[in-house]
Chain A
């Protein structure tokens, strides 16, 4: 029990303090107050705990305190603390069980009360916060209400002022209108007045006129007359005609004719204009259609109704055109069709142009990257360049034309004309002349050469003849010599050697040097011959051949000499062969033969005597 007291007391005391704080601020229900008081009174203070307990029950007044407690408890409904006893005089014994039960009951009660207290406190807190919240809301709403009231008053005030103004303006307008109306009325009235006065004055005036007219007519003044020397003929030369009904009718007819002519003329003009305009419209339509048709590939993807209508419109128009041209009427339906179709086409064209514009603007915004779209500046620059080029070309053409004109049109003397004739070809002519002269010279030279060649050929022929004759004679001699060979072998040899070579040097060289050089040595020998030959002929290669044959002859002859074979036919054959060869040589161009024969003759003549055979 002592522990219970110490434990709960601080909590209780604090709670009681809190409670006291709350109760000062908030209104509490009487029941709660009562309970609070009860609690306060029932809960003993910490300081006075022990004193209170000791104050109530001491050792002296135990019986009294027990009886008091018993009374209290029984009044509260608890069972009595005393034991049940029969007699009144006996001291009742304390029922400890009852006491314990009572204590327990009291504790339970206490706990319940505490719980209830807690609940009540929390509720209190909640209510307090709610209260605060509501109060703040209330304050805000009050403020809002105030402000809105003020606004409303202000607006009402303004409204009132505007209405006043409005009324004033209406008033002014009415006034103005009234004024205008008044002025108009004034004008109208004045106009009528004026007219009326005018009419009155006119009537007066007419009366005066009538009066005067009467006076004038009545007077029959002779003075009113025309004094004319003689009457002049009419302007158109015809006679005057009486005025009859016929003439009146004729005049009417003429008048109507004039009017009709004028109307017909005007109608013709208008018809012509109409036809022209129709033509122009149709052309425009066609051009628009043609313009739009290549573009229809792109919008076809989008499947626009307008393009679809346009395509069908084209077909329709094609049919229409035929019909229109055949009829060529200006009836309502045809006109409407034409105008409608043109409007359609125009709309399509406009939308297309707008699309292009958008494209262009996009390009400008995004920058120039598209290959298909040429920037305007480049385009303009190019066009300028092209124009410049065109101008330059034109100027050139003009100047050239002028020059040509001058050429053709210059009037000059005969001399100059003759000089100037073919002046462009003068250079070429002179060149040609030079070349021609050169050519002629060359021709002459060739002619000369040819002549010399022919002469040489003729000479050669003659020499050949001579050679032939000599050969024949030589052969005869040979033959004759052959019969007396033994004695004249040496002579043959000599003869042969004579053929071979003229000098010792030559023979030696023949033997010493290899056979390949024989042409050389022979050529040495032949050089002597050729030296003679050169007199007659220019150097010709055929002599070397001749010399070659001669070397063959000499070889054979030498071999014959060395072998000292009595074979006669061999050298003879050889000679013959050689000679044949020489004859074969002789079959070559005549000049060479001639030369050769001459050479051979020379050789034979010169080298008969020499011979030194080893």
Chain B
């Protein structure tokens, strides 16, 4: 594997353009746009303050840079480097900023989540959406960019508003049967909205596009509930990862659980291949990478070469028991990712220091990132392999 030279970066702000031609990165208050193939600097923009958030527009023509401290958003154009746009929220403050799917509207969330201001780059119009919910995933756009679902909270009740993105017209507004909504997500086919409740209550609600409740699902009571949710790319399955260390998969026809996957501490199924990273100079604690299902262990910092050997079963995954008396404990399924061809599901359970999971578009390989390590897994797919 070849690596390029190291570039300066601040705030972990570095994003590829959606069309894959450019790479934008931030250094303090400067925005640097490079060409992907040559890594030559194409554009250099200077913002007014330290950038906290950058985002490409969907058509890769514009980049927004948000500066939360100053309450400013600056938009830069790639086609016309002279073009500039500055949005100042002033005393309203800025907490979050994002593009609309058509790439011509910017949604700014003001401080205290008071409102969402929809700024248009095409017209002079401004729209306000009052009292959006301050939760993990309160805004979600459909894949085709037609509709936007927004979680709201009024009078201690949760509501969902569905907007038409073309003219920001409110299509539907309905109450949800949740205690404290934590996240919403559209299915890739844009017809079903998954809504899940706080971790104190295991509850997942499924609403149709026109606001009808299709189904609810609750696996158990009282214990800590849902931690992460993801749809399969074909919209056939909904994977729910919970604090009890299990992934439950619902099917789109009956919205009932079809299977659940456990994450036992000892791997003893003879069908599972466990790849163990062995170091030349053994240091404290060796990591293990079983496949499937893949999950990564903490790897100690080492500059020596490592090799992978197949460990003999049974393999016990060394874990440190995390403290459970604090809020939001580091147990349970924290990350879920379906492969793009619907064959595999990658999960991260427990305290493993995998910060990001990313599938290749072909569904053959998986990239894992931890704080110090980077791991590429290649999968050999047999004919007719199901989800692992």
- The chain A residues found within 8 Å of chain B, CB to CB, are 187, 191, 195, 198-199, 202-203, 206, 208-209, 212-213, 216, 219, 221, 223-236, 240-241, 243, 247-248, 251-252, 254-256, 258-259, 262, 266, 270
- Whether A212 pairs with B112 at a CB distance below 8 angstroms is yes
Further 9 A-B residue pairs, CB within 8 A, beyond A231-B121, A247-B167: A198-B156, A202-B156, A208-B112, A209-B112, A221-B91, A223-B88, A226-B87, A232-B62, A262-B189
| Total residue contacts A-B, CB cutoff 8 A | 111
- A227 touching B156 in the complex, CB below 8 Å, given contacts A195-B179, A213-B114: no
For the complex, count residues of B whose C-beta is within 8 A of A. 51
- A224 touching B89 in the complex, CB below 8 Å, given contacts A212-B114, A230-B83: yes
In the complex, B208 has a CB within 8 A of chain A: yes
Residues of B within 8 A of A232 (CB): 62, 77, 83, 104, 121-122
- A258 touching B90 in the complex, CB below 8 Å, given contacts A229-B84, A243-B169, A247-B167: no
- Whether B171 pairs with A259 at a CB distance below 8 angstroms is no
20 A-B pairs with C-beta separation under 8 A: A198-B180, A213-B115, A216-B91, A223-B90, A224-B92, A227-B88, A229-B84, A231-B123, A234-B122, A235-B59, A235-B103, A247-B167, A251-B171, A258-B146, A258-B190, A259-B208, A262-B189, A262-B190, A262-B191, A270-B253
- Whether A234 pairs with B83 at a CB distance below 8 angstroms is no
In the complex, B119 has a CB within 8 A of chain A: yes
- A258 touching B91 in the complex, CB below 8 Å, given contacts A235-B104, A236-B102, A243-B167: no
- Whether A234 pairs with B86 at a CB distance below 8 angstroms is no
Instruction: Identify B156's interface contact among A199, A225, A266, CB under 8 A.
Output: A199
- Whether B210 pairs with A256 at a CB distance below 8 angstroms is yes
Residues of B within 8 A of A234 (CB): 102, 104, 122
Residues of A within 8 A of B191 (CB): 258-259, 262
- A225 touching B104 in the complex, CB below 8 Å, given contacts A231-B122, A231-B123: no
- A226 touching B88 in the complex, CB below 8 Å, given contacts A234-B122, A240-B122, A251-B169: yes
A219 to B191 CA separation, bound complex (whole angstroms): 41
Closest residue of chain B to A188, judged by CB?
A: B222
In the complex, B164 has a CB within 8 A of chain A: yes
- Whether A226 pairs with B85 at a CB distance below 8 angstroms is yes
- A247 touching B209 in the complex, CB below 8 Å, given contacts A209-B114, A219-B91, A229-B85: no
Name the distance in Å between B101's Cβ and chain A's nearest Cβ: 9
Closest residue of chain A to B201, judged by CB?
A: A191
- Whether A255 pairs with B90 at a CB distance below 8 angstroms is no
Closest residue of chain B to A232, judged by CB?
A: B121
- A258 touching B209 in the complex, CB below 8 Å, given contacts A195-B179, A235-B102: yes
In the complex, B159 has a CB within 8 A of chain A: no
Residues of B within 8 A of A209 (CB): 112, 114, 131
Q: Which 7 pairs from chain A and chain B are nearest by CB?
A: A223-B90, A224-B90, A262-B191, A228-B85, A235-B102, A227-B86, A232-B121
B residues 46-100 with Cβ under 8 Å of A?
58-59, 62, 77, 82-92
Name the distance in Å between B372's Cβ and chain A's nearest Cβ: 39
- Whether B167 pairs with A241 at a CB distance below 8 angstroms is yes
- By secondary structure, the B interface counts as loop
- By secondary structure, the A interface counts as helix
- Whether B122 pairs with A224 at a CB distance below 8 angstroms is no
Name the distance in Å between A128's Cβ and chain B's nearest Cβ: 86
Candidate in A206, A208, A224, A236 with the most chain B CB atoms within 10 angstroms? A224
A233 to B83 CA separation, bound complex (whole angstroms): 13
Name the distance in Å between A271's Cβ and chain B's nearest Cβ: 13
- Whether A228 pairs with B190 at a CB distance below 8 angstroms is no
Name the distance in Å between A215's Cβ and chain B's nearest Cβ: 8
- A251 touching B164 in the complex, CB below 8 Å, given contacts A216-B114, A234-B102, A256-B210: yes
Name the distance in Å between A184's Cβ and chain B's nearest Cβ: 9
B residues 320-355 with Cβ under 8 Å of A?
none
Name the distance in Å between A160's Cβ and chain B's nearest Cβ: 42
- Whether B171 pairs with A252 at a CB distance below 8 angstroms is yes
Name the distance in Å between A261's Cβ and chain B's nearest Cβ: 9
Residues of B within 8 A of A256 (CB): 210
B residues 24-51 with Cβ under 8 Å of A?
none
Candidate in A212, A226, A243 with the most chain B CB atoms within 10 angstroms? A226
Closest residue of chain B to A194, judged by CB?
A: B200
Residues of A within 8 A of B62 (CB): 232
Binary A-proximity of B154-172 (CB < 8 A = 1, otherwise 0): 0110000000101101010
- Whether B86 pairs with A226 at a CB distance below 8 angstroms is yes
- Whether A216 pairs with B85 at a CB distance below 8 angstroms is no
Residues of B within 8 A of A229 (CB): 82-85
Residues of A within 8 A of B110 (CB): 216
Closest residue of chain A to B212, judged by CB?
A: A259
- Whether A227 pairs with B210 at a CB distance below 8 angstroms is no
Name the distance in Å between A263's Cβ and chain B's nearest Cβ: 8
B residues 229-278 with Cβ under 8 Å of A?
252-253
Residues of B within 8 A of A198 (CB): 156, 180
Candidate in B62, B92, B171, B209 with the most chain A CB atoms within 10 angstroms? B92
A223 to B126 CA separation, bound complex (whole angstroms): 15
Residues of B within 8 A of A235 (CB): 58-59, 102-104
Residues of B within 8 A of A219 (CB): 91
Closest residue of chain B to A224, judged by CB?
A: B90
Name the distance in Å between B33's Cβ and chain A's nearest Cβ: 18
A206 to B102 CA separation, bound complex (whole angstroms): 33
Residues of A within 8 A of B146 (CB): 254, 258
A584 to B187 CA separation, bound complex (whole angstroms): 129
Name the distance in Å between A241's Cβ and chain B's nearest Cβ: 7
- A259 touching B210 in the complex, CB below 8 Å, given contacts A224-B88, A224-B92, A241-B167: yes
Residues of A within 8 A of B200 (CB): 191
Residues of A within 8 A of B84 (CB): 228-229
Residues of A within 8 A of B114 (CB): 209, 212-213, 216
Residues of A within 8 A of B121 (CB): 228, 231-232
Name the distance in Å between B162's Cβ and chain A's nearest Cβ: 8
Closest residue of chain B to A228, judged by CB?
A: B85
A199 to B153 CA separation, bound complex (whole angstroms): 12
A433 to B207 CA separation, bound complex (whole angstroms): 97
A444 to B93 CA separation, bound complex (whole angstroms): 127
A254 to B153 CA separation, bound complex (whole angstroms): 27
Residues of A within 8 A of B82 (CB): 229
A227 to B73 CA separation, bound complex (whole angstroms): 10
Residues of B within 8 A of A230 (CB): 83
Residues of A within 8 A of B169 (CB): 243, 247-248, 251
Name the distance in Å between A308's Cβ and chain B's nearest Cβ: 40
A206 to B171 CA separation, bound complex (whole angstroms): 25
Name the distance in Å between B187's Cβ and chain A's nearest Cβ: 9
A241 to B168 CA separation, bound complex (whole angstroms): 11
Name the distance in Å between A203's Cβ and chain B's nearest Cβ: 7
A202 to B152 CA separation, bound complex (whole angstroms): 13
Name the distance in Å between B8's Cβ and chain A's nearest Cβ: 29
A229 to B62 CA separation, bound complex (whole angstroms): 14
Name the distance in Å between A145's Cβ and chain B's nearest Cβ: 63
A224 to B111 CA separation, bound complex (whole angstroms): 13
- A224 touching B91 in the complex, CB below 8 Å, given contacts A229-B85, A235-B59, A240-B123: yes
Name the distance in Å between B212's Cβ and chain A's nearest Cβ: 10
A320 to B55 CA separation, bound complex (whole angstroms): 64
A221 to B117 CA separation, bound complex (whole angstroms): 15
- Whether B88 pairs with A225 at a CB distance below 8 angstroms is yes
Instruction: Identify A255's interface contact among B103, B123, B171, B252, CB under 8 A.
Output: B171
